[in-house]
């Protein structure tokens, strides 16, 4: 059964970027759960986290499912003293998306800075949310970086 297209998929198609779409039960909220259902290593499933800098707009940080975000490392990478994770309420309010379905591809043009952990450069392809719970997209890391203008940073130590 084909996956119902959403704005993230239409954006990729408009720009000629190849991708594969996957669906799974929207109750699955962890990268580990997504990896198990899709039969891929958890290191390929990237989480999009909303982080609050000391001032200004929230930022999006993509980290692999088998690692934890290191806020001190990220802050150092960005030349800041400290940062904090957004609360679920802050994340959903600032993105308009539900936690578990936040995607940089669904948030382009909204003024949010996008960062991806350096570990992504070790992979050819990654999976990330398509902008709604229960949908993930698989695409080349180089294409993701190009389309989102993401900056590569040290975010997991």
**CA proximity to 117, closest of 144, 90, 89, 138:** 144
| pLDDT tens figures, 95-125 | 999 998 999 999 998 999 999 999 999 999 9
Mean pLDDT, 10 residues at a time, over the chain (157 residues)?
A: 83 96 90 94 97 94 97 96 95 94 94 96 96 95 97 94
Q: Which pLDDT score is estimated for 34?
A: 93
Q: What is the pLDDT of residue 157?
A: 80
Contact indicator for 155, 70 with CB cutoff of 8 Å:
yes
CATH superfamily of 7-153: YbaK/aminoacyl-tRNA synthetase-associated domain (3.90.960.10)
Give me the residue spans of the domains in the chain. Answer: 7-153
DSSP run (H or E) holding 128: strand 125-129
CA of residue 99 relative to chain centroid, distance: 11
pTM of the model: 0.94
């Amino acid at each position: 059964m084909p996956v119902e297209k959403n704005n993230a998929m239409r954006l990729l198609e408009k720009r000629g970027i190849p991708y594969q779409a996957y669906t799974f039960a929207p109750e699955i909220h962890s990268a580990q759960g997504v990896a198990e259902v899709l039969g891929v290593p958890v290191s390929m499933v990237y989480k999009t986290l909303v982080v609050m800098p000391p001032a200004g707009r929230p930022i999006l940080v993509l980290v692999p499912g088998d690692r934890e975000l290191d806020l001190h490392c990220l802050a150092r990478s960005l030349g800041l003293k400290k940062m904090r994770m957004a609360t679920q309420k802050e994340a959903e309010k600032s993105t308009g998306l539900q936690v578990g379905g936040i995607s940089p591809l669904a948030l382009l043009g909204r003024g949010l800075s996008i960062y991806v952990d350096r570990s992504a450069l070790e992979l050819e392809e990654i999976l990330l949310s398509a902008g709604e719970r229960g949908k993930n997209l698989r695409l080349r890391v180089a294409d993701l970086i190009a389309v989102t203008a993401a900056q590569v940073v040290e975010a997991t130590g």
